[in-house]
Amino acid sequence: MCYRHNFNSGHTFNGYSPAVDPCMYQSECPDYTLEDDSATLMSYCHMCGGFRKVEYTFGGEYKGSGNKSQLSNWKRSNKLGNTKTSTDPQRVPHKMRQHVSTRGNCVALPPPAGPTNEPTPAPTKAPSPPTTPPPTFEPEVAEYDEDLGGPKCSSLTSHCKSGDLLKGRGTISGKSETNRPNSMDDDCVDGNGGSYEDDESIEAIELKTLSGNRFQAGEEVQISVKVYAWGNGDKDYLDLWYAEDASDPEWEFIATKQPSGGGLNTITATYELPDSKKVQAVRGIFRYSQSGAAASSACPGGSWTDVDAISIVTVESEGLEEPSDGETTVDGEGNTEKKKRRDGKKRRKKKKNQD
């Protein structure tokens, strides 16, 4: 398969005016549900619902008559139908064809070498072995996991994003949070005070390895949290925690950070992925405090507090055996992830009642 940049075609979301499609412009999916087979092969629309959203076409074809250099002699591919996702997609193959047509005979094979009576000289030194570039993985947009109670990236990758799942806070005026509280603990809820974009909220959480390798034990992971801060941000704090088992979390503190100012901010921190054979999680707590930066707990409460989490699979968690019923074994006794989650929730509820 050829790669578009080799043929002078930019990204379909920002390389054309108007854009061919909106998928992943500013790392966001469009605000409507994509139809299946509605996007071109060169789009990033597989990030917004899977590869079923993509049709195997560059977007258009030559009509069969007229000058091929004229865009008017190209038409939209019938495979795409009349969806609003792809706007004049024939511009993509037309631009690629224009680039190739200026290359002359660059793709012609060289003539075969004639016979020679002179021996081939021996190399003066051993050739260098080929270098293997580091692997690259497309960022995965998480989906809500009902068992865990929050966004989860279920594919083994190096980059996980919450997408739009965390926008808003509780039932705050202007933007109630979908699937609230998204804390991976139904007892740890958001505050409902204030109004959206004026007061505190977590908008997105993003995890990625600094090396580009897949999530696995020992990898340094960058956490990026997009937040709305109140006022000038000097009274707002972001506490970051991680858990080695998202189904029965015991939260470990990472760091407390502050926004650089009021309004929309992105706050970052790093931590090292522990060695765990379970689905792991990161929790962010964005809170207002007049008493300072000290993080009191992994569930502090408060009228302006937003508690959100995101979970990821790792090389270690994906190395588990698959029993005959299709559920993932998590220990030597054949207990499944689903059973572990149920048991963990029962234990937490029992502990709360005892307290």
Q: In the 8-state DSSP scheme, what is residue 68?
A: T
Domain end among 102, 124, 148: 102
Same domain for 187 and 311, yes or no, is yes
Residues 37 and 87 in one domain: yes
Least Cα distance to 318 among 117, 146, 157, 123 occurs for 157
**97 within domain boundaries:** yes
Please indicate, yes or no, whether residues 237 and 312 belong to a single structural domain of this protein: yes
- The conformation of residue 220, written as its DSSP 8-state character, comes to E
On whether the CB atoms of residues 242 and 249 are closer than 8 A, the answer is no
Q: What was the pLDDT predicted at 16?
A: 85
What pLDDT score was predicted for residue 266? 96
17 is written with which tokens?
A: 């005016």
With respect to residue 175, please indicate whether it lies within any of the assigned structural domains: yes
- Compute mean pLDDT per 10 residues along the chain, 355 residues long, and list them: 64 85 83 84 84 86 88 88 82 86 59 59 64 68 95 94 96 95 93 95 96 93 97 94 95 94 96 94 92 78 95 85 41 48 52 51
Asked if residue 348 is part of any domain, the answer here is no
Judge whether 345 lies within some domain. Answer: no
Same domain, 144 and 97: no
Which string of DSSP letters, residue by residue, matches 147-165? TTTEEEE-S--SEEE-TTT
CB contact set of 290 (below 8 Å; sequence gap of 6+): 235
pLDDT at 264: 96
pLDDT at 338: 45
What's the pTM value of the predicted model, to 2 decimals?
0.55
Whether 225 and 97 share a structural domain: no
Structural domain boundaries enclosing 150: 140-319
Q: Which whole-number Å values give the CA distances from 324 to 278, 317, 330, 351, in the listed order?
A: 20, 18, 14, 34
**Could you tell me if 95 and 192 lie in one domain?**
no
- For 190, the token pair is 């958001």
What pLDDT does residue 298 have?
92
Residue 230: both structure tokens together: 């109140």
Same domain, 70 and 195: no
Q: Are residues 80 and 154 in the same domain?
A: no
Q: Is residue 333 part of a domain?
A: no
d(CA 240, CA 3): 39
- Domain end call among 304, 319, 334: 319
Provide the pLDDT for residue 48: 85
Same domain? 84 vs 180: no
Pair 190, 295 in one domain: yes
Q: Which two tokens stand for residue 275?
A: 């060695």
Answer yes or no: is 16 within a domain.
yes
Q: Is residue 220 included in any domain, yes or no?
A: yes
> Does 254 map to a domain?
yes
Same domain, 255 and 164: yes
Last residue in a domain, options 55, 82, 102: 102
Q: Which of 88, 184, 207 is nearest to 137 (CA)?
A: 207
- Could you tell me the two tokens for 327? 């559920």
CATH at 276? 2.70.50
Nearest-Å Rg of the Cα atoms of the chain is 26
Both tokens assigned to 330:
């998590």
Number of domain units in the chain: 2
Distances, alpha carbon 264 to alpha carbons 46, 112, 116, in Å: 28, 62, 71
Query: Is 300 in the same domain as 181?
Result: yes
